[in-house]
Structure 1
Amino acid sequence: MTLVAVDYQADDAPQRFVESLRATGFGVLRNHPLDQSRVESVYRHWQAFFDSAAKEDWLYNKGTQDGFFPSRVSETAKGFSLKDIKEYFHYYPWGQCPDELKAELQAYYDDATALAAELLSWVQEYSPSEVSALYREPLSHMIQDSNQTLLRVLHYPPLQGNEAPGAIRAAAHEDINLLTILPAANEPGLQVKAKTGEWMDVPSDFGNLIVNIGDMLQEASGGYFPSTSHRVINPEGADMSKSRISLPLFLHPRPDVVLSDRHTAGSYLQERLRELGVI
């Protein structure tokens, strides 16, 4: 099985995109409306941020989870004992951010969130009637007025060769949210676990947009849309010396949104953050 990029501008793009999500947990879009030059600019500016000592001035707030997370407090994937080899910055419109980086990041956040709402409407449109009946409100409405949608600027630093045995840039995990919107990173390494158990490379052509299902959409759809395991593997050879920047937008509903008889979005998020060890 391979992941095939769907042309966003094609007449059948919504149906093909949702079919890919259903089959693999992932969809890949090309010719999408997000400005590639802005993404490249964000990568350059945030690489400089991560290369500077000033990043330590923006340490995260534990209660609100905004700001800089250094590698020493990086996430440990559920079921793993080793921390991921990464550092990252959590951006919310209401949260802390260096002034010189905020306007550009907010512009990307706005555009990506608008596109994500459209993709949620595609999922709604091509959900079978018995699955649509499970949604307590239209999927795209779940994110209206939400202050929980998170833009993470991820930095995977160059590998030194002395990393703990078995540690990788991002161990296998599932995302918590509804959908994750991710421009192809500046380096390959993202893989998705197929239903057969094999790991497939996600197309990393610069300009592709990668979308995956999170646990909350799986919960809201009664398992019809699978939250698929994915990971970021370590590079080998010369590529070990390269940084990798990634820019996932995690689309979160309002905390009061009812996902299922078991969970609201708020209760589900808190449960998962405790499992990750970040609260």
Structure 2
Amino acid sequence: MTLPFEVKLAAGADLVEKTLRDLLEPRPLEGELHRPERLLKAMRHGVLNGGKRLRPFLVLETAALFDATDNMAALRVAAALECVHCYSLVHDDLPAMDDDDLRRGQPTVHRAFDEAAAILAGDSLLTYAFDIVSAPETTLPAEAKLILVNRLARASGIGGMAGGQALDLAAEGVQLREDEILRLQAMKTGALIRFACEAGAVIGGASRAETERLGEFGAAIGLAFQLADDLLDLTASSEALGKATGKDAAAGKATLAGLHGIDWTRQQLRGLVAQANEILDPFGERAETLRQAAQFVAEREK
């Protein structure tokens, strides 16, 4: 019996949630002197608040594609990636960035605590991610850990997510060209999704060619994710999404959905799903869940 994709995604989210809860326990790790209670609560508020956990799910599924034997190592890398993603959300929500009051239907960290706590929570989540990947408890070969740390740093830093956010802030009120929008979105949103797919391949001991192919898959669904997000910003209610909508247009930010319209965007999403499926062809039936993930990303309603 084949489980529906949403059931698989929820099961993966439960595993990642448990791993994150264990990692964010009050007890200090070896080498830590103390975990300040309020800071830890702010971190947990920013991470343990639901969410689809799509990025860590992609880590787990791409690792499974190569029969990765150590599921706990894959779970720890998946949790580390989610820490980076959640750090970015905590900082993006700040008044100096997107100035949002809601995230996943709950008060954002700076609203539930204060701005200083949100900044420190984000800083701590980002650095903790690299601790998790490199720690002895992540039982991967040293070379694999080094590759993962390097790729995660590049996906999340100046040439990836943080750089994309800088471009996004600079784009307010500016009419960007289509290629500029694509570059911004590939950095801000696509880089971590691409890393998720590459990370699973590294964990599973895939060849360089296989890792690159899965990176291409991640790039395709990363663009689909952003297009679907832009579409939802135009068409969905804030109640359905659990966050404010219509903010891109209000801030004068150019998106491909805003530039070309709803029908064009939906057509592009169908094309990206077809592209993602074609990329996965060499993996045959083993990649069926990843094909379902591509479809889910393009068709999601929140």
* Fold in common (TM above 0.5): no
Greater RCO structure (CA 8 Å; 6+ sep): 1
Structure 1 or 2: more helix by fraction:
2
Structure 1 or 2: more strand by fraction:
1
> What is the TM-score when the length of structure 1 is the normalising length?
0.29
> What is the TM-score when the length of structure 2 is the normalising length?
0.28
